[in-house]
């Protein structure tokens, strides 16, 4: 492999990014070097940018939603070859704990992600294990391929929730994950999918992707909308895709008796107050959903019916990472998904 110089973006302090510059090492026997073509900003990147991610203390490299081209392979690699278009599942697992040994690697006792180990995808190149690679099908561009990771997060949440035919579902938060959750719920058979957000642009996107109803809390309260849409009984399932105390409680209180809330948002303030009595009086269930486990292949199949490029509102060159992140947290920017190109 010829000498390759890599820029790797990282957050060094709240609101401040810089780039590490280093040479790309030769890949190990089962490793692959990917030249990044597109890298998308994730909600967790924004939590890191604000210095408030509960599991990623600063300084830390960022970026884990990406696609690119294979440019070098290790001696034992058989799955891909140079020139292949790929996306990457950026999870790191030990392979030794009971969860990993039974195929439930999403519950690995030492689970981590590439960006937390110095290999962020806001970069020119990234070296990953062959097992993490998935070839991009022809119908996906590099930009769309970078969104297979968030689609996998949504896929995991919807599969965990066990959405069934005819169910009524409430999705709180119309960021990329919330929008994709809503789209997948409809494709899973939910007949009513209501999406809550303050952004008219995001609510319009929710309708385009399959939501049946949208709710803007500045116009109508969530409580009023729940009564109107369910006759007062509540939704079968709800998804919290924001990460705030108020939305956690809305996801709980919007459920019918024996309903299920799935919590997907990242909480910058981990300690919250909830109406505990609701668990007893309504026998509701609340579960979390993080990452993915055998969800990338499903997401790649589902991408045939979801126009992922619709979510992309802004594009920046990699060297403008600072501006891209500032745009992402600017409520007036109208951003949904921002993609960077090295």
Which backbone phi and psi does 67 adopt, to 5 degrees? -145, 165
In the predicted model, is pLDDT for residue 2 greater than 90? Answer: no
Q: Which token pair is 50?
A: 């604000």
Q: What average pLDDT score do residues 8-13 get?
A: 96
Q: In what order do the strands lie in the sheet with 213-215?
A: 213-215, 192-196, 168-172, 235-240, 255-263, 285-288
Does some domain include residue 293? Answer: no
pLDDT for 237-296, tens place per residue?
999 999 999 999 999 999 999 999 999 999 989 899 999 999 999 999 999 999 999 999
Does some domain include residue 130? Answer: yes
Based on the fold, state whether residues 277 and 245 are members of the same structural domain.
yes
Based on the fold, state whether residues 170 and 271 are members of the same structural domain.
yes
Percent of the chain with pLDDT over 90: 94
Based on the fold, state whether residues 178 and 271 are members of the same structural domain.
yes
The whole model's pTM is what?
A: 0.96
Are the C-beta atoms of residues 135 and 80 closer than 8 Å to each other? yes
DSSP 66: E
Task: Report the distance separating Cα 53 and Cα 60, nearest Å.
Answer: 11
pLDDT of residue 69: 98
Does some domain include residue 336? Answer: yes
Does some domain include residue 294? Answer: no
Number of domains in the chain: 2
On the 0-12 / 13-18 / 19+ scale of CB atoms within 10 A, 156 is buried
pLDDT of residue 56: 87
pLDDT of residue 325: 97
pLDDT of residue 54: 85
Average pLDDT value for the chain? 96
Does some domain include residue 298? Answer: no
Based on the fold, state whether residues 66 and 88 are members of the same structural domain.
yes
Based on the fold, state whether residues 265 and 317 are members of the same structural domain.
no
pLDDT of residue 284: 98
Based on the fold, state whether residues 220 and 327 are members of the same structural domain.
no
CATH number assigned to the domain comprising residue 14: 3.90.180.10
Task: Report the distance separating Cα 121 and Cα 305, nearest Å.
Answer: 26
Domain that holds residue 251: 151-288
pLDDT for 304-317, tens place per residue?
999 999 999 999 99
In the predicted model, is pLDDT for residue 141 greater than 90? Answer: yes
Does some domain include residue 107? Answer: yes
Read off the pLDDT band of 22 (50, 70, 90).
very high
Based on the fold, state whether residues 259 and 208 are members of the same structural domain.
yes
pLDDT of residue 55: 84
On the 0-12 / 13-18 / 19+ scale of CB atoms within 10 A, 102 is exposed
In the predicted model, is pLDDT for residue 202 greater than 90? Answer: yes
Based on the fold, state whether residues 210 and 165 are members of the same structural domain.
yes
Instruction: Give me the count of residues in the chain.
Output: 342
Neighbours of 323 (CB within 10 A): 14
pLDDT for 91-127, tens place per residue?
999 999 999 999 999 999 999 998 888 889 999 999 9
Does some domain include residue 145? Answer: no
Integer CA distances (angstroms), 120 to 7, 60, 115, 135, 183, in order: 10, 8, 4, 20, 28
Does some domain include residue 299? Answer: no
């Amino acid at each position: 492999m010829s000498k390759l110089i890599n820029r790797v973006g990282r957050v060094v302090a709240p609101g401040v990014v810089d780039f590490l510059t280093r040479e790309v090492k030769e890949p190990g026997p089962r490793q692959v070097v990917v030249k990044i073509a597109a890298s998308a900003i994730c909600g967790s990147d924004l939590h890191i940018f604000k210095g408030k991610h509960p599991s990623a203390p600063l300084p830390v490299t960022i970026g884990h939603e990406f696609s690119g081209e294979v440019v070098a392979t290790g001696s034992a690699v058989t799955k891909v070859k140079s020139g292949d278009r790929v996306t990457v599942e950026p999870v790191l697992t030990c392979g030794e704990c009971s969860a990993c040994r039974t195929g439930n690697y999403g519950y690995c006792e030492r689970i981590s992600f590439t960006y937390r180990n110095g290999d962020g995808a806001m970069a020119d190149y990234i070296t990953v294990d062959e097992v993490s690679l998935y070839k991009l099908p022809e119908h996906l561009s590099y930009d769309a391929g970078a969104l297979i990771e968030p689609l996998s997060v949504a896929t995991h949440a919807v599969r965990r929730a066990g959405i069934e035919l005819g169910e009524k579902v409430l999705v709180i938060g119309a960021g990329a994950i919330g929008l994709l959750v809503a789209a997948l719920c409809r494709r899973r058979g939910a007949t009513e999918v209501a999406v809550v957000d303050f952004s008219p642009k995001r609510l319009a996107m929710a309708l385009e992707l399959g939501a049946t109803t949208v709710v803007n809390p500045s116009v109508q309260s969530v409580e009023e909308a729940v009564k109107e849409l369910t006759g007062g009984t509540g939704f079968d399932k709800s998804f919290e895709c924001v990460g705030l105390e108020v939305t956690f409680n809305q996801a709980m209180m919007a459920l019918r008796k024996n309903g299920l809330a799935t919590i997907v948002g990242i909480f910058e303030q981990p300690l919250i107050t909830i109406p505990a009595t609701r668990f007893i009086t309504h026998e509701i269930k609340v579960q979390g959903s993080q990452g993915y486990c055998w969800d990338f292949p499903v997401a790649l199949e589902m991408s045939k019916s979801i126009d992922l490029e619709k979510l992309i509102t802004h594009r920046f060159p990699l060297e403008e990472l600072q501006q891209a992140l500032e745009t992402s947290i600017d409520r007036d920017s109208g951003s949904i998904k921002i993609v960077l190109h090295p």
